[in-house]
Structure 1
Amino acid sequence: MPRDTLTREQIVRAAIELLDAEGLEGLNMRSLGKRLDSAATAVYWHVKNKDNLVVLAGNEVWNEVGLPDLDTVDWRTAAATMAGDLYRMVTKHPWLVMAFASQPLYGENKARHDDHSLAVFEKAGFVGVEADQAAATVFTFVLGHSIGLSATLSVNRRLTKAGRNAQEAIRETMAQATEIALGFPRLRSRVDSYAGTEYGAAPEHSFEFGLQAILDGLERRLGSRSLSLPDRAGAQDLDRVHR
């Protein structure tokens, strides 16, 4: 495809497809040019370098996270919906988690998501830095929960490129990890209880459990703060009397 007919949108979409298939380590201008049926030099007319391309691709996938209407849903529903969408997005594009660890990611779509996330927790009753902390807590939980999948895919690709059977290598590693775990009573009981389940695998519905636990904690924090407000006012009145 000649550079005068190649668009940035086409390049970004092809980059996302390549990243989904090959991960960060598989993204390069030559492979991207081949996918676009274009010379690698034509791609450079539209993007500066690989890092710039990752930023553009990362920003594009944020469109997949919905922004609930805060006039029609309560804050917990909005927070859970956004977290669920984010989890689905990062597990669909696992390279994004690795990209967060290697370079700053930014763009209008991510900024729109971050702004709406703050609006959700401001609606809940958090003010100022507390809204930022609440939003960051949920965000980091989602990313942390998706690290395992991203790492597994990366290991699979690395082993395959090295000419090894990835599934067999992982099974051998997990067998060694299980053997070590059997030397510890609580881990041994879990290995024995959950026969057929990989050692170290997250229990079913762990994401939902963790998210609800976080939202429960944030809600309790709001409740305890509102209950303590009269006490604070009374303390301030007493302080003024003593003065």
Structure 2
Amino acid sequence: MPRDTLTREQIVRAAIGLLDAEGLEGLNMRSLGKRLNSAATAVYWHVKNKDNLVVLACNEVWNEVGLPDLAAVGWRAAAERMATDLYAMLTRHPWLVQAFASQPLYGENKARHDDHSLAVYELAGFQGAEADQAAGAVFTYVLGHALSLSATVSVERRLTHGGENAQALMRESLTKMTEIAQQFPRLRERLDAYADKDYGAAPSQSFEVGLQALLDGLEIRLGDRRLPQPAAAGGETLDSPHR
């Protein structure tokens, strides 16, 4: 594709496809140019370098996370949908979790998501730093779940490109992990129960159950705040302005 017909949008979409297929380590201008049927030098006319390209790709995929209409749904439904959409997005693009640890990634689309997330928890009744803490707790929970998937994808990719030797090393590592886990009763029981699955695989619906428990906890915190405070000596409540 000639330089004058190549657009930044085309480059970013192609970069996302390459990142999904090959991960951060597989992204380079030569491979990207090949995907675009263009010379690598043509790509540099639109993006400065690989780091800049990752930032642009990151900004683009944040568009995949829905921002519910808060006038139409309650805060909890909105929080659940945003968390579920975020998890699905990170699942589709596992390289993004790795990118978080490698460089600052903050664009307009993530800022829009973060702003809407704060609006969700302010609608619930959290104020100031409390809204930040609530939003941060849910975001960290989602990111933690996605981290496991990202690591698995990265290992599988290395095995694919590493040939028989890499696969033999992985089998050896898994054998050692199993031998260590067998020394502990609860882990041994789990290995037996999930013998047909990979060790460390989470039970089904783990993400959904954990998310509901986290949102339950936030609701409890809100409910506790709204309860009347117990009376102190002299008939004043603990939140009396005279205290």
On whether the aligned pair clears a TM of 0.5, the verdict is yes
* Aligned length, in residue pairs: 240
Q: Secondary structure of 1:202's partner?
A: coil
Give the corresponding residue for 1:143. 143
Shift of 1:9: 0.2
Alignment of 1:74-93 (within 5 A): 74-93=74-93
Give the corresponding residue for 2:23. 23
8 Å Cα contact 1:156/1:166 also seen in 2: no
For structure 1, list consecutive stretches of 5 or more residues without a partner in the other structure: none
8 Å Cα contact 1:121/1:135 also seen in 2: yes
Give the corresponding residue for 1:234. 237
Worse-matched range after superposition: 157-166 or 121-130:
157-166
Distance 2:100 2:6 in 1: 28
8 Å Cα contact 2:229/2:238 also seen in 1: no
The 3 A distance-change label for structure 1 pair 99 and 237 is closer
Give the corresponding residue for 1:38. 38
2:220 corresponds to 1:220: yes
Give the corresponding residue for 1:71. 71
The 3 A distance-change label for structure 1 pair 61 and 231 is farther
Q: Secondary structure of 1:71's partner?
A: coil
8 Å Cα contact 1:11/1:36 also seen in 2: yes
8 Å Cα contact 1:19/1:26 also seen in 2: yes
Shift of 1:159: 2.9
**For residues 4-39 of structure 1, what are the alpha-carbon distances to aligned partners after superposition, in whole Å with 9 as ceiling and x for unaligned?**
111000000000000000000000011101111111
Distance 1:158 1:186 in 2: 31
The 3 A distance-change label for structure 1 pair 239 and 10 is same
8 Å Cα contact 2:87/2:146 also seen in 1: yes
Distance 1:196 1:138 in 2: 31
2:76 corresponds to 1:109: no
8 Å Cα contact 2:3/2:43 also seen in 1: yes
8 Å Cα contact 2:229/2:239 also seen in 1: no
Give the TM-score taking structure 1 as reference length.
0.92
Distance 1:231 1:5 in 2: 73
Alignment of 1:163-174 (within 5 A): 163-164=163-164, 169-174=169-174
Give the corresponding residue for 1:193. 193
The 3 A distance-change label for structure 1 pair 16 and 129 is same
- Percentage identity across paired residues of the two chains: 74
Give the TM-score taking structure 2 as reference length.
0.92
Give the corresponding residue for 2:127. 127
8 Å Cα contact 1:174/1:198 also seen in 2: no
**For residues 45-95 of structure 1, what are the alpha-carbon distances to aligned partners after superposition, in whole Å with 9 as ceiling and x for unaligned?**
111110110000000001111111111111111000000000000000000
Give the corresponding residue for 1:207. 207
The 3 A distance-change label for structure 1 pair 17 and 203 is same
Shift of 1:167: 5.7
The 3 A distance-change label for structure 1 pair 231 and 123 is farther
